[in-house]
Structure formats: structure tokens, C-alpha cells
Amino acid sequence: MNIHHRNLRRVVIIGGGFGGLEAAKALRKASVRITLLDRQNHHLFQPLLYQVASAALSPADIAEPLRHILRHQENAEVILSEAQSIDVANKRVLTADGPVEYDYLIVAAGARHSYFGRDEWEKFAPGLKSLDDALEIRRRMLMAFEVAEKTQDDAEREAAMTFVVVGGGPTGVEMAGAVAEIAHVTLIKDFRHIDSSQARVFLIESGPEILQAFSGDLPVRGLKQLTSLGVEVRLNKKVEAISETGVTLTGGEIIASKTIVWAAGNAASPLGASLGVPLDRQGRVIVQEDCSIPGHPEVFVIGDQAHFATGEGRALPGLSPVAMQQGRHVAKNIAALLRGESTARFEYFDKGIMATIGRHAAVAEMGSLRLSGFVAWLAWLFIHIIFLVGFRNRFAVLFNWAYAYVTFGRGARIITRRHSGSGGVAEPPKQ
């Protein structure tokens, strides 16, 4: 079958992330027409995004064009467009390029970072969800050292050499560890007027511990590993204010900083609201046992955008294994519906969680198995390479890592910016 057989039922998938892509692949043998909608042209391996932000990897190392991934799957097409809302009554998705009609819909638009209603903070403290986010954070970080090297003003130099990461989850911990490593090791010989090892890196966590998703002593071990990298961790501190001059914490502490990264809090894609069904506090769509929504057995919501209840008011976490398993599951459910059969309940198989801390430490938890330190880092490396989409990427990433590991180098310390016009001097970030 291929995309041009108009008589086939049409499955529209919104989002080419882990969930949406798995769903599309799992439907490759189904006699349907699949339309994958995404506002980016690539699938992004988000777990390694902090490596792009910290200049260890290039965008192409962790991203693969969606068309390329699906090029041999004749029943699938990719449309680069942003879904604006969903009209469940008329079974169509409204996009910037007009309506797209569906017989079955899989909503997998993911989540963005949430500023808890303080969206004005975003320009001072960008989050880390897209390649553009990562390149912007990389640019700010590298420019901060350039400003520090140039300035005659002690206060400006100190602010330029102070980095703040907000949020003590895996992303925040990974980012803080990487920044500390860059400042204290990678750049050590690059400057003449500053000592990059004097740079300060702060991690702000509102809770009593970092890496709260981990159990046992892993949060404590993670904290030890992170502080041993020189990261100054502030626990039980909320961010009161963020401005171009820095961050103000509960209790009044002010950290003057030019480079702030936001890794706290997620909000599901606003697209879910247009479904007209209950959402949770993070804006996630509360789905039924088969991942469909109430009253619309033909509409499924998966991944970071879905609230799949696990009892005690809890929901499955926003992890790629959850999204991928749900993607495959709803594909099966759609196939069942096509056969006139009923759908099945989704069961999550917990593969565990891990977070890396700097260049040779990590924490990992798989069932009752808890690892930390170098062994956990190796496990982390192995699993992430295995799951990285695309042969080329796997090798390019392995090569870049091996190189960075041996040399402490960061191969991608290149500052670029679009529309440089005459290629003029890269200014410090407009803030």
C-alpha cells in the first residue's frame, strides 16, 4: 500500500518524538495512510541535548530527519507544519497550512518547560527542549567567557563567570555537571586574563534533594558526585526572581549571573486543551486505560503529553521508554479497531532511570538494582548509544565522546548565529 491510496483509513500522528515515531513505525504493515505532523524536520534524541548545549556534540549528532527515518515506509508521509488545534467533532487537525483530516489520531506533541506563570523569565533563563534551545545556551555560555576575558569591570567579570542551573532533575544535574567540567577543565588554557577554573556553577533545587525520582541513597550519592565537580548546590531554595543581572532565591540570596539555564518544571503542549477533556495540573491529557480519551475511542494521547494514572493520584513519568511503549501500544490498538476488535489496556514495563554527572559518574536505578559512579556511567553510555537513532549518529557520537573523553575537549565550541548579516561580531546575548 502507499500514501496515495485514498481509500485507506488515515492515521494522523502529531509529533515526531519518541512516542509518535514509534507509533508510525509500528503501523508500517497496517493498511492505513499515516501522516506524521511535526513543526521540526527532525527527530531529536533529547536525552543527549545537554551535550549539544555544552558543546560536546553537534546538532546533527543527535538528530535525524524524520523523512529520512521513514523514507522506506511507503504508507507514511511527513508534513513539516505546526498543529494549532484539534477539532475532534469533525475529526481534523488544524495546522498553519490548513486542516488535516483523520480517521484515527495519535497526539504526541510532548512538553515544554514551564516557568510557573513567570514566562517573562524565559529570555533570561532559556530551557532545554529543542536544538535551538541548546544552541542558544551554548552560545550564551561561550560568550560569557569571552565577555569575562575582555571586561575591565570586576563585577561584570564575576557575573560572566557565574552559571546558574535551575532545577535538580536529571537535565539540571547533567547540565550543571557539564558546565562545571567545561569551566574547570576544558577551557583551562584558553584564556589569558581570566582563570576559567574560578568560574562558579550553581544548581538550584526547590526540594530537599536533587534527583528525587531516584530512590535509596542515589540522590545523596548524586549530590556528592556533583559537588565533587565543583557545583554549588542550593537545596530547599525556590527562585523568587530572574533578571538580566541574575537570580534571587527564597531567603534573599542574590546570585549575579549572565548565564542562567532553566531545567525546572514541564508543561504539556497546549494542544491537549483543544481536545475538550480533563487535563492535570501540568496540562497533560488524562487518558483512559488504552491511552484513548473519554468519548473518542479514535483519539489517543501518549508520552509527555499524557497523564496515565498509576493509582494514588500518580501518573507515569515523562520518560522516553514510557512514550515509546505507548506509541507501540496505541499502534496495536488502532490495528485492533481496524479489525473491529476492542482495544487493550496499556501496561508499562519499567526499564529504570539514569542520569549522568560529569564525564565519568552517573546514577542508575533498574528495579532493585542501584548503580552509581563510573559503573553507572558506563551503563548510561552503553544504553544511550544503543538507543540513539541512526547508524551514522551512533558512530559520530561515539567518536566525539571518545575524543572528548580522552582529551577533555569539547569539539563543538563554535559560536554561530543566524542572520549575522556581514558576519559581524557576536555580541553577548541580548538580555
Pick the binder of a second copy from 9, 41, 156, 348 (CB under 8 A). 41
- Residue 7 beta carbon to a second copy: minimum distance, rounded to whole angstroms: 16
Backbone angles phi, psi at 149, to 5 degrees: -65, -30
Q: Of 213 and 402, which CB lies nearer to a second copy in the complex structure?
A: 402
The residue among 219 and 272 lying less far from a second copy, judged by its C-beta, is 272
Least distance (Å) between residue 267 CB and a second copy = 11
Cβ contacts of 180 within 8 Å, gap of 6 or more: 201, 229, 230, 231, 358
Convert residues 192-231 into a mask of x (bound to a second copy by CB under 8 A) and - (unbound). Answer: xx--------------------------------------
> Is-catalytic flag, 174?
yes
Binding flag, residue 4, a second copy (CB under 8 A): yes
- Residue 342 CA to residue 365 CA, distance in Å, equals 35
Least CB distance to a second copy at residue 151 (A): 9
Minimum Å distance from CB 392 to a second copy?
5
d(CA 26, CA 329): 9
User: Does 125 engage in binding with a second copy (CB under 8 A)?
Assistant: no
Residue 104, strand partner residues: 11
* Gap between the Cα atoms of 236 and 310, Å rounded: 28
Residue 156 is a binding residue for a second copy (CB under 8 A): no
For residues 316 and 338, give the distance between their C-alpha atoms in angstroms, rounded to a whole number. 28
The window from 128-136, 173-181, 222-230, 273-281 that contacts a second copy (CB under 8 A) reads 128-136
Residue of 22, 64, 174, 205 with catalytic role: 174
Chain positions 278 to 337 lying near a second copy, rule: CB under 8 A, are: none
For every residue of 346-395, DSSP letters joined together read -------EEEEETTTEEEEEETTEEEESHHHHHHHHHHHHHHSSSHHHHH
Question: Looking at residue 427, what DSSP letter applies?
Answer: P
Q: What is the CA radius of gyration of the chain?
A: 22
Cell of 133: 534551545
d(CA 123, CA 260): 10
Q: How far is the CB of 185 from a second copy (least distance, A)?
A: 13
Site mask, a second copy, residues 48-77, x = CB under 8 A? ----------xxxx-x-x-xx--xx----x
Residue 165 · residue 204 · CB < 8 Å = yes
Count CB atoms within 10 A of the CB of residue 281. Answer: 7
Chosen residue from 129, 140, 234, 307 binding a second copy by CB under 8 A:
129
Could you say which of 21, 27, 42, 337 contacts a second copy (CB under 8 A)? 42
Positions 333 through 392 that interact with a second copy (CB under 8 A): 392
Cβ neighbours for 113, distance < 8 A, ≥ 6 positions apart: 127, 128, 129, 262, 263, 264, 265, 266, 267
Point out which span in 20-28, 341-349, 356-364, 414-422 binds a second copy (CB under 8 A).
414-422
Phi/psi of residue 381, each to 5°?
-60, -50
Among 13, 24, 133, 231, binds a second copy (CB under 8 A): 133
Contacting positions for a second copy (CB under 8 A): 2-4, 39-42, 58-61, 63, 65, 67-68, 71-72, 77, 79-82, 96-97, 112, 129-133, 135-136, 139, 142, 146, 149-150, 187, 189-193, 392-393, 395-396, 399-400, 403, 407, 409, 411-420, 422-426
Catalogue the active-site residues: 174
